[in-house]
Amino acid sequence: MSIRIYNKTLPQCGSRVFIDPSAVVIGDVHLGDDCSVWPQAVIRGDMHHIRIGARSSVQDGCVLHITHASTFNPEGYPLIIGDDVTIGHQVLLHGCTIGSRVLLGMGSLVMDGARIDDEVVLGAGSLVPPGKHLLSGYLYMGRPAQQVRALTEQEVSFFTYSASNYVRLKDNYLTQQDATV
């Protein structure tokens, strides 16, 4: 089963959420309305919470986890993701905060305590180190991620297009799933 209780906490899903049967969602996780979680993604809210906003997609092979509270980090870091976020294939997010209308390119890593503001593009394969803050309205790329340039109006409009496209795709999957049950 792809949704698992941990420590007596069952993940919570908003309306019309799609979770692929091969994905795993564990513990203190809330998925907003119209979210999609694609094959082989792992979302593990076992020692802190994970919140994912509406219309966000977690694509194939992603790993989403938290940073637990300890003497080294008394509060720990939850994983917070805003609305209309496209999380590309094989992205790793660990105890960070992602704003709304963000595109995280394939294979990117965002580490503990990092913050990405609204309307940011993170290029494929980029690394956001612990505690780094990416400001709104820019493309960032590299290892470590560096601000490359301001986003164009067309790129900013792509955020809601991408989110809507994944909502349509997951709706198609849900319809086919219902037809086979």
Q: Across all residues in the chain, what is the average pLDDT?
A: 96
Element (H, E) at 110: strand 109-110
Q: pLDDT tens-digit profile of 116-163?
A: 999 999 999 999 999 999 999 999 999 999 999 999 999 999 999 999
CATH number at residue 69: 2.160.10.10
Whether residue 179 is predicted with pLDDT greater than 80 in this model: the reply is no
CB 44 within 8 A of CB 62: no
Q: Is the pLDDT of residue 174 over 80?
A: yes
Range of the domain at 41: 3-180
Percent of the chain with pLDDT over 70: 98
- Whole-Å CA distances, 113 to 27, 107, 152, 169: 21, 19, 28, 32
Domain count, the chain: 1
Alpha carbon 139 to its chain's center: 18
pLDDT at 177: 79
pLDDT at 92: 98
pLDDT class for 69, splitting at 50, 70, 90?
Answer: very high
Strand partners, 3: 25
d(C-alpha 80, C-alpha 115), whole Å: 9
User: Can you list the alpha helix ranges (DSSP code H) found in the chain?
Assistant: 153-180
Beta-strand pair 42-52/63-65? parallel
Query: 181: pLDDT confidence band, cut at 50, 70 and 90?
Result: low
Q: What is the rounded CA–CA span in Å between residue 49 and residue 68?
A: 9
**Residue 139 phi, psi (nearest 5):** -95, 130
The band of 39, judged by pLDDT with boundaries at 50, 70 and 90, is very high
